[in-house]
Amino acid sequence: MIKYRKPPLVERAVGVYAVIDEEKFQRRLQGWADKLRQEFPHAETVTEWELKLTEKDGMPVMDEKGHKMTLRQRFWQTNEKGVRIRCIQLWRDRISFNLLENAGVQHRFEDLDQMTKQWLPKWAEEFDATGVSGVNLEYVNILSLQTVPLFATVNSINLNKLLTFYAAMPQQVQAIMPNLHPTVVPPYDFQVAIQGSVKAGSTETPLTFHAKLVGERKKTGVPIALRLTLSASTIQPKRLIPVLEATKELALTHDCAVRGFESLFTQEARQSFEPYDVHSTNSY
């Protein structure tokens, strides 16, 4: 498989869900946090609210009884300049592992794979998570003047040459309206989801691929930027597999995400990301 030295990839993340007893989670959380701080010394707690809306007289009304609060624990590693580069996030029912850009040095899938294989079994043992529902892998790409300079200016991005989704759009529009000379204008948002399964021997693994493009909030004097998130997931409701199997499924989701990356970016764009031999030490 071809890999890339300079993809617009800024973050990798993998999430794993499990059923964990609330009382047991609270009782063992402090001990787990102490272990994590040995390698991830910077900790913080993030409060998240889920709000429930109902309808009254045709208007949305906030249902005060439907509010739900959850706490997310974050444990960070930083580089020598204090920039956050690695993170383990913890909720009561899931854990995630995140790799962020490190001073321009591209992280690799192998780094995320190693991090997951090191800490996922420890988490499962600590909280008695005997099985999980699969893995969810996300690759976040930022499209901007900094990451795709051959296709962007401060105020515009040439999506016709960058993404295959937009490359065919002008021809399709002209086929419908021959006298129109179309130009792609904001908003550039789109998303697509594909669901299926992969069979290996007698085992069939569910697999969902999702791509979502959204515009980053534009600030005065800041170049335009788009966020393209590619995710691949083997998670399904009521699915339960051993933790060891989940670590193996990470490679499957990575392969799916890379294939999605190659299908969404044009050949010209992929060439600008500097493809190289699969046996090299760097990778997408």
pLDDT given at position 208 = 97
DSSP annotation string for 57-119: TTEEEEEEEEEEEEEEEEEEEE-TTS-EEEEEEE-SSEEEEEEE-BTTBPP-HHHHHHHHHHH
Cα separation, 103 vs 191, in Å, equals: 30
Are the CB atoms for 154 and 224 separated by under 8 Å?
yes
pLDDT given at position 217 = 65
Exposure string (b/e) for 52-70, b if CB count within 10 Å is 16 or more? eeeeeeeeeeeeeeeeeee
Q: How many residues does the chain have?
A: 284
Cα separation, 66 vs 277, in Å, equals: 53
pLDDT given at position 87 = 97
* Beta strands 225-233; 42-56: pairing state: unpaired
If you search the block for the tokens 């299908």, which residue do you land on?
263
Q: Residue 56 is encoded by which pair of tokens?
A: 């009254």
Cα separation, 246 vs 136, in Å, equals: 10
Q: Residue 127 is encoded by which pair of tokens?
A: 């909280």
- Residue 232 DSSP symbol: E
pLDDT given at position 282 = 46
Domain ranges of the chain: 3-18+107-276
Amino acid at 27: R
Amino acid at 73: Q
Cα separation, 146 vs 9, in Å, equals: 12
Digitized pLDDT (tens) for each residue of the chain, 284 residues in all: 678 999 999 999 999 999 899 899 999 999 999 999 999 999 998 877 666 667 766 666 666 666 666 788 999 999 988 999 999 999 999 999 999 987 667 789 999 999 999 999 999 999 999 889 999 999 999 999 999 999 998 888 999 899 998 887 766 666 676 766 666 677 888 899 999 999 877 788 999 999 999 987 666 666 789 999 999 999 998 899 999 999 999 999 999 999 999 999 999 999 999 998 766 544 56
